Amino acid sequence: MSEVYIVDGARTAFGKFGGSFTNVSATELGTATAVEAMKRSKVVPEQINHVIFGNVIHTQKSAPYLSRHIGLYSGIPQEVPALTLNRLCGSGMQSVVCAAQHILVGDAILYWLVAQKTCHKHHFPILRKDLAQKWGIYHPRICF
C-alpha cells in the first residue's frame, strides 16, 4: 500500500469582513497561495495530477469553477482534472481525505489541494452603512 504525505503548504493572513482582502477575489487569493506553496515545495505545475479545492462560502459567480481557475492561473496544465467541493466547515479536511483516497487506490501520485473560507466577503443580512454605501448596495431597511 502507498503512503501519503503532505509535502508543503502556504496560507494568506487572516482577514476580516470589510478589511484589506475585501476587493481580492477568491480566485486571486487561492492562486497566490498555490503559487507560493509550489515555490516552497519545489513542485512544478506539470508534476501535478489533480487539483482539489475545498470552499465553503461562494463569494463570486464563478465559485463552482474555483479549482479549475486556480489551477490554470497557477500554471497547472489544462488537461489536469480539478474538483471543487463543499463539506461546510470540513471542506479543507475533505479535500485532504479525497486526495489521500485517490493516491491510495493508485489514481494519481501528486494532488494539489486548496482550501478556502472567504468570510470577509460573505453576504450578511444586516450591513454596515459605510460599507454598503461604498459597495453601492445601501438600503435604509437593511443597513445601520
**Angle between helical axes of 26-41 and 66-73 (0-180°, round to 10):** 50
DSSP category for residue 57: S
Q: State whether CATH 3.20.20.480 applies to domain 26-135.
A: no
Residue ranges covered by each domain of the chain = 26-135
pLDDT string in tens for the chain (144-residue length): 678 888 888 888 777 767 787 788 888 988 998 999 999 999 999 999 999 888 877 777 878 888 999 999 999 999 999 998 888 778 888 888 888 888 888 888 888 776 666 555 555 555 566 776 776 766 565 544
What's the pTM value of the predicted model, to 2 decimals? 0.73
